[in-house]
Chain A
Amino acid sequence: KNEVEQSPQNLTAQEGEFITINCSYSVGISALHWLQQHPGGGIVSLFMLSSGKKKHGRLIATINIQEKHSSLHITASHPRDSAVYICAVKRGSSGDKLTFGTGTRLAVRP
């Protein structure tokens, strides 16, 4: 079992829909990152969380440390949101290294 699990693996949505991507982890962490990777390959860091909730534009990220779970929400989804969303955790005992989930491939149809 992977230390970081994401669900769903693939997601297709209609433009305007509310989207939720989930991330569960099984190890102690010091921080959790949500990353976005577009088809061209470049990675953008969306959020870094260690507790609570963060919001940036139409994106919201939450984390529940006790339940070892984080969610990424996209409100009013748009075709340009189509990308792979990756959850990555920085383990408390591994220094600076990140452990990555396998990603969620999102396609938003117009």
Chain B
Amino acid sequence: GAVVSQHPSRVICKSGTSVKIECRSLDFQATTMFWYRQFPKQSLMLMATSNEGSKATYEQGVEKDKFLINHASLTLSTLTVTSAHPEDSSFYICSADKDRAYNEQFFGPGTRLTVL
């Protein structure tokens, strides 16, 4: 199956710093990638839809100035958590749409962010 990677897998940072998370589709091109957030024992919450070469579409309640998304190429999308605070600590997961015609979507392994 198709492979989606995320980097880093874990990150610990101090409050006030910014953290960048990368999502890569390794063996296919993805015009659309999705960023999710997951709190402990809860389901995934869609944060934004990232389209290659255009601005991301954010879900209601998600601060676009805090969660910066860049989808500069067909294989890479980045999520930058700016001025991170402890309440931003969470598990962030990306997914990539391989083939819209076949509804195939592949998930990355996730990034666990801890803000001290």
Contact = CB atoms under 8 A, between A and B. Distances in A.
Interface of A: 30-31, 33, 35, 40-45, 48, 50, 86, 88, 90, 95-98, 100-103
A35 B32 contact: no
A101 B43 contact: yes
Interface in B35-73: 38, 42-44, 46, 49
Given A45-B1, A102-B43, A96 B105 contact: yes
The majority secondary structure among interface residues of chain A is strand
A30 B38 CA distance: 24
Contacts of A31: 103
A41 B109 contact: yes
Contacts of A41: 38, 91, 93, 109-110, 112
A42 B110 contact: yes
Interface size class on chain B is: 20 to 34
Contacts of B100: 96
Contacts of B105: 33, 45, 48, 90, 96, 98
A42 to B, nearest CB: 4
B110 A43 contact: yes
A48 B103 CA distance: 8
Contacts of A100: 43-44
A53 B44 CA distance: 25
A40 B112 CA distance: 10
A50 B46 CA distance: 22
